[in-house]
Amino acid sequence: MYPDEVIGLGGTGKTLVKELLKSEWFVEDVISKWEENIQQGGRFGGTKIRFIDSDTSQMPSDRKELEEIKKTINEVGKKVLERKDDYAVKVFNLNENAYVNLAPGMSTQLLDPKFEAAVLKNEKLKTEVWWVDDEDHGLKNFAKTVDPNFDSASFANGVVRKRFLAKSLIYYYLATKEARHLELMGTGRHIAIVTAFGGGTGSGIFLDLAKWLKNSIPNCAVTLFAVLPTGEERGSEAVNAYAALSELEQEKEDYIDLAILLPLDLSGYKGGDIRIHPGLKSFSENFPYNFCGIYDRVFTDDESLGQGHIEFSKIPFKKFVVSSAYSVRYAADKLRDKDFKVSETLKTLKEYCDTEEKLRGKIDKVIKRFELQTSRTEEKGELSSERLKEFKDCFYEGDFPELLRSTNYGIVNKMKQFIIEEKLWEDELSRLRASVLSILEEELPIKDKDLLNIAKKWLKNIDNFTEQALAIESIPDLPIRDIFIKVVKSIPIGADKMKLEDSIKTLKVNLTKIESELNEIEGKIQNLEKIKFIKDFLEKCKERKEILFNMDARENEDRWKKEINPEEAIIRLREWGASRLEEDMKGLSEYYRLLATENYYNKEKRILKVIKRKRKPKLAEKANVRKEDFARRLKYFRKDTETDDIELRENLFEIFASQEMGAMNVEKNLDLLKKRKGDLITQKESNEKLQSLSTEIWDLLEPSEKVYSLRQKTHNKMEDVIKISEGARRGEFVLELMPKDSGIIKNLTESSDITLFNEFEGSRDFDEIQRALTDSFRELVTPGTREENKFMCVKGTVTGEINGRKRSVGPNFLKIITLSRNENLRPDLNYESIRDIYSVPATNISEIPLRQGGNWDTSFVTAIMFLPLEMLINVSRYYDAYVDKLNREGYIGILKHHSANLERGKFFVRERCLTDTEVIELSDMPEDAQREKLDGLYKEISLGNLVEGSSRGL
C-alpha cells in the first residue's frame, strides 16, 4: 500500500520525495491502484504530494524540476492506462499549490502583533505563548537575544539550521489564510513526512506539523522518515540531530506513529557541499525502495497483519526505528533466466553426446579396419574415472544436480537413488550403465525421458571411449599412437597436428622411395632371372652331354632338339628383346651335341674281344671341326680350353643392363635381391597401413575437436548456471544500494525485475544473504565499539503474493534480525515491538506473511530495527557536540537548536545517555517504570527563566 499524502519537508525532504516521483515503477503502481479504486469504488484516491520549505532561493529551480516530473508522470500514466490525462494533478495533486514556502519576506514580520494574536487564537495550534516575541511573559526582543542577527534574516537560504526559527515559520504560516494550501485531502489515513534531522526547517517543524495534521484529520497515522547526519558532522547538524531525537523520545503524545531514521553514514558523505558528493545521489535513489518497503510491510489493510494505524505508545520501551534498503540482486539476471539457462545447457549436453556418439562410431570403424585390439582391461576404471566424475557432477552430486531438481527434473533424484542403492563407484561403469538403463522411461514425463536418454548415451560413450583408448595401445608407431589417443580422448592435440601432417608427408615420401627401390630391384631380379634362364639352358646342354657321355651314345640334331628344346629358349630371347643371342644359343646347343658326338666316335671298341681301336676317327674329327667352328663364332659365350665347357662372357650381362658380373654370382645376387624385395614389401605394407591410419586419424581431428569444443561449452554453461548459487554464497550478488550501487532500476516491472530467493528459500544461500545483509545493516545501528559487541540474528522467512502467485522475496529484517550491543540483551526485545505492531503473539512472528505491492516485484530488502536512543549510530557523537555547545554557550546557546514545547514556553534537555547496563535494566522494567526512568533523563528549561537569568544558564 501507499500513503494517502506525502510531505517533503525542508531541503532534504524535497529531494527525497522528488526522487520518489522520479521512480517510474512507483508512479506506475500508484496510478494503477488509483484507477483500480475508481473502478471498484475503493477509498484510495492517489498519493497527494506537498513540498514545504523556507529557502526562497530554491523556489525557481524546484518549480522547474517539478514541471519535468509532472511530464514524466503523465507519460507513465498514458502508458499504463492507455489514455491521456493529467495524472500529475489527479493522482499526485501536483497543482500550483503543491509547493509551499513558509518564509515571510523578512524575519521581522514574525514580530507583527496581529500575527502573534492570530497564532494564539488558533485552536488547532494550541499555542500558549508566541515565544519569538511575547509581551505577557516579558520576552520582548527574545528572538534577538537568542540570535543577534535575527532582524536581518531574509530566509534567502532558509533558516540556516536554526530549529527554533523554523518552528516559528510553521505557526506564522498556519495562522494565515495560506494555511489552506496545507490542508490536503483531509481524509487521508496514512500521511508520511520526509525530512532531515541535521537541518533547521524539517527538524524544527516536523513535530508541530504532525500535531496540526492530527488535529485537522481525525484518525490519521503519521509516519516520519528522518535522515540522520553522519558522524563526521560535529557542528549544528549534530546538535540538531541530538535535540530532535531527544524531543521525539520525550514526546508523550501520539503525534508521530512511527519514526523511521535513515542514517547517511554508508553514503560516504562527510559534510560540505551536497551537490558534489556521489554518495548522496545514491542515498537519494535508495530512498524510494526504503519508503515503499516500510509502507508495504508495516502499514497494511490486511486484517491478518493488524491495523494500519500503529499505536507507537504501545511499545513499552520507547524505541527508534533505523531503516535502510538494500538491493539483493540474488543471482541477479542469472536467476531470472535460470530455467532458460539450464535448458540451453542440456541442449548443448545433448549435442555433445550426439556428436561424441558419431565420433565413437567412426573410431570403431578405424579400429576394426586396422584390427587394433588389446586384452588389457585392468585400466578401464582409471581411464573412465574422469569422465564418470563429469557424469556425476551433472546428475548425481554437486550444484548442477540441485539446479536440475529446482527446475523440476525429477529423474535426477531417481538416478541418484539407483546410484546410492547399488553403491556404484567410478570403476563400476557397466553396473552404472545397467542401473540407468533399468529406469523405465514409460513412467517419466517427456523432459525426464529426454534427460534420461542423454544420460544413457553419455554412459555408452564413456564405455566406448575406454574400450577404444585401450585398443589403440596396439599401434606400433608411438607418435601416431599418442596422437590417436588424444583424438580418442577428444582433447586438443595442439602441435601434434603438425606432427601428424608431417608424418603423413614423410610416409608418402618413404613409400615413393620404397616403390622406386622395389621397381629397381624387380628389374634386376628380372634381368638376373633371364641370365639364370640362359645359364640354366647352358647347364641343361651340359647335363645332356654328360648323360650321353655316360651312356656312350650320341644324338642326331632332331633328337637333341627334342630333349633340349632350344626353340623355346629362342622364343624367350625374342620376347626379352635379346634376339642377338639366338645364334649363340643355337651354337652352344650344337657345340654340346657335337661334343657328345665327338666323344662317341673317339671311344675305343673291342673287336673280337681282343683288338681295340677307335670307333670312327674321321667322324670324330669332323664333329670336332664343326664343334670348334661353333665355339669360335660365339659372341656372348666362350670356351674354356681346359675343360671344353662353354662359359658366359661379361658382355652377356650388358645386354640386360645388369651390373652383377660373373656367372657364379647370379644365384647369390638373385637370392639377395629377392630377400631385399621381401623386406621392402613388408616395409611398404607397414607404411601403407600407417599412412592409411594417419589419414583416417587426420579425418577424425575435426569431429574430435568438435566433441572437445562441445564438452567445454557444456562445462562452461554448467559453471555459468552454477554461479547462480555459488555467487550468492560468496555474496557476489548482494548489492547495497547505499552507497555502492547508484544505478538503481527506475522502470521496474514484473517482466524485467529480478526474482529474489525464488528457488532457494531455506537453503544455505538464503542464510548467506541474511548474514551479508545483517553485517551491512549493523553498521547503521551500532556505536564505534562494535568489535566488543555480540550480534544476534533470529532466522525467518517471508513470502508475498504478486500477481496472484506466491513468491519468496527474501529476509524481512523487521522480524528476523535482532541486534544488540550486549550479549545479555534479550533477543525477544524486538519481538515485543513487532508483536505490538502486528497484534500477533511473538512466537508466531516467523509466520507473518509479507504483503507486496500490486503488479510490481521488489528488488530490495528494507531492514528496520527498533532500538533505544543509545544504540543509534553516532548518538554519542551527537551528544558530544550538544554538550560542547552547552558548555560554551549555555542553555541560551542551544535554544536555537530546540523546537519541541516552545509553544508552551519551555523546552527539555536530555542530560545524559544511558549505559549498556541501564539499557538492559530498562528493557526489563514495567511500562510505568520505564517512562519514569526516561523522564528522569530530561531537565525542563523555562523560556521566561532563561531570558530573565544569565545567558549561560539558569
Summarised one tens digit per residue, pLDDT across range 822-858 is: 344 343 444 444 444 444 443 433 333 332 222 222 3
Predicted local confidence at residue 905, as pLDDT: 86
Predicted local confidence at residue 795, as pLDDT: 34
Residue 371 has pLDDT above 70, yes or no: yes
What gap in Å lies between CA 55 and CA 57, rounded to an integer? 6
Predicted local confidence at residue 302, as pLDDT: 44
Predicted local confidence at residue 824, as pLDDT: 43
For the chain, the maximum distance between any two Cα atoms, rounded to a whole number of angstroms, is 203
What gap in Å lies between CA 618 and CA 119, rounded to an integer? 184
Predicted local confidence at residue 797, as pLDDT: 31
Quickly tell me which residue has 562527510 as its cell. 270
Helix or strand run (H / E) with residue 671: helix 666-730
Residue 408 DSSP one-character state? T
What is the residue-averaged pLDDT of the chain? Answer: 74
Residue 752 has pLDDT above 50, yes or no: no
Q: Which residue has the higher pLDDT, 801 or 379?
A: 379
Q: Which residue has the higher pLDDT, 726 or 215?
A: 215
Reported as a single tens digit per residue, the pLDDT across 161-178 is 888 888 888 888 888 755
Give percent of the chain with pLDDT exceeding 90.
Answer: 13
β pairing state of 221-228 and 190-196:
parallel
Average pLDDT for residues 584-605, to the nearest whole number? 86
Residue 196 has pLDDT above 90, yes or no: yes
Strongest mean pLDDT among 371-380, 481-490, 609-618: 481-490
pTM higher than 0.85 for the full model? no
What gap in Å lies between CA 264 and CA 281, rounded to an integer? 11
Helix or strand run (H / E) with residue 289: helix 278-298
Residue 655 has pLDDT above 50, yes or no: yes
Which segment of 176-180, 335-339, 444-448 scores lowest on mean pLDDT? Answer: 335-339
β pairing state of 734-735 and 320-328:
antiparallel
| pLDDT tier, 378 (very low <50, low <70, confident <90, very high otherwise) | low
Average pLDDT for residues 755-771, to the nearest whole number? 45
Asked whether 202 and 9 are in contact (CB, 8 A), the reply is: yes
Predicted local confidence at residue 812, as pLDDT: 33
Asked whether 51 and 17 are in contact (CB, 8 A), the reply is: yes
Residue 479 has pLDDT above 90, yes or no: no
Asked whether 110 and 143 are in contact (CB, 8 A), the reply is: yes
Q: Which residue has the higher pLDDT, 617 or 952?
A: 617
What gap in Å lies between CA 384 and CA 363, rounded to an integer? 17
Q: Which residue has the higher pLDDT, 696 or 916?
A: 696
At residue 499's C-alpha, the angle toward residues 497 and 504, to 5°, is 100
Residue 504 DSSP one-character state? H
Sequence spans of domains, the chain:
5-330+872-948, 338-490+684-723, 504-672, 735-862
What gap in Å lies between CA 196 and CA 17, rounded to an integer? 12
Residue 679 has pLDDT above 90, yes or no: no
CA distances to 130, 351, 395, 396 from 464, rounded to whole Å, are 97, 17, 20, 21
- Is the peptide bond prior to 739 cis by the omega test (within 30 degrees of 0)? yes
Cell of 635: 659372341
| pLDDT tier, 946 (very low <50, low <70, confident <90, very high otherwise) | confident
Residue 209 has pLDDT above 80, yes or no: yes
Helix or strand run (H / E) with residue 324: strand 320-328
Residue 931 has pLDDT above 50, yes or no: yes
Predicted local confidence at residue 149, as pLDDT: 73
Predicted local confidence at residue 165, as pLDDT: 84
Average pLDDT for residues 309-329, to the nearest whole number? 55
Residue 595 has pLDDT above 80, yes or no: yes
Number of H helices, E strands in the chain: 32, 20
What gap in Å lies between CA 569 and CA 367, rounded to an integer? 52
Which segment of 68-77, 89-98, 578-587, 683-692 scores lowest on mean pLDDT? Answer: 683-692
At residue 288's C-alpha, the angle toward residues 282 and 290, to 5°, is 90
Predicted local confidence at residue 757, as pLDDT: 35
At residue 763's C-alpha, the angle toward residues 757 and 769, to 5°, is 55
5-330+872-948 CATH choice from 3.30.70.20, 3.10.129.10, 3.30.390.10, 3.40.50.1440: 3.40.50.1440
Average pLDDT for residues 192-216, to the nearest whole number? 90
What gap in Å lies between CA 771 and CA 237, rounded to an integer? 33
> For residue 315, which of 258, 242, 250 has the smallest C-alpha distance?
258
Q: Which residue has the higher pLDDT, 434 or 497?
A: 497
| pLDDT tier, 226 (very low <50, low <70, confident <90, very high otherwise) | very high
What gap in Å lies between CA 838 and CA 840, rounded to an integer? 5
Residue 747 has pLDDT above 60, yes or no: no
Radius of gyration of the chain (CA): 55
